[in-house]
Amino acid sequence: MDDTLTLVSWRARPRSFVALMGLYESNFIRLGWLVEHLAALAGRHRSAVAGDCDLLLSVAERSPYTSTVNLTYLLPGADGALQYPDMRLRIYYDAHLVEALGWAGTHSQAVLKALRSHAERELDQRWARNVMLNKWLEYCVERGHRFSSATRLGASE
């Protein structure tokens, strides 16, 4: 389902708390496009598609109502694979929300540096992280990335 076609009976002020919750809901929908059975997600997964970097998803914590996962690209580098943007996400299954809790400590890309440096208030920082996540999830789906039981890595990988 395309969440951009969803009708709403109210308008949220951009960059407000209400708008941020709407962004978290959109993140949940987009992560659902990427992960086959979101509620059953466990372990580590790797998605590889032609013409794009491998995408790695790792479940760090799991409880009945939430999970904390790491989502990152594996970028080829001289010293092995670099994990970037290395985002930490919290999935709220009962509320159908996904929040980007954090991302790489430093950024070499000018656009990401600027996004982080202009976000002074906590709400602005959350907004920046979650807009980035929202667009990245959509991009990953468009590139053909998917996670399912077939993409789960073994314990030694």
Say if 97 falls within a structural domain.
yes
Say if 1 falls within a structural domain.
no
Say if 46 falls within a structural domain.
yes
Cα–Cα distance, 56 to 117 (Å, whole number): 27
Q: Is the pLDDT of residue 112 over 80?
A: no
Say if 115 falls within a structural domain.
yes
The two three-digit tokens of residue 35, written as one number = 């992960």
- b (16+ CB within 10 A) / e for 2-34: eeeeeeeeeeeeeeeeeebebbbbbbbbbbbbb
> Who wins on pLDDT, 151 or 15?
151
> Dihedrals φ, ψ of 34, to 5°?
-85, -35
> Who wins on pLDDT, 145 or 11?
145
What sign does the dihedral 97-15-57-34 (CA atoms) show?
A: positive
Q: What is the pLDDT of residues 124-136, one digit of tens each?
A: 888 889 999 999 9
The answer to whether 44 and 151 have CB atoms below 8 angstroms apart is no
Say if 28 falls within a structural domain.
yes
pLDDT of residue 7: 54
> Who wins on pLDDT, 85 or 147?
147
Q: Residue 125 is part of which domain span? A: 13-151
Say if 79 falls within a structural domain.
yes
pLDDT of residue 156: 66
Q: Shortest CA distance to 24 belongs to which of 90, 99, 95?
A: 99
Q: What is the pLDDT of residues 26-85, one digit of tens each?
A: 999 999 999 989 989 999 999 999 999 999 999 999 999 999 999 999 988 778 778 888
Say if 6 falls within a structural domain.
no
Report the domain count for the chain. Answer: 1
The model's pTM is 0.80
pLDDT of residue 79: 80
Say if 77 falls within a structural domain.
yes
| Mean pLDDT, all residues of the chain | 84
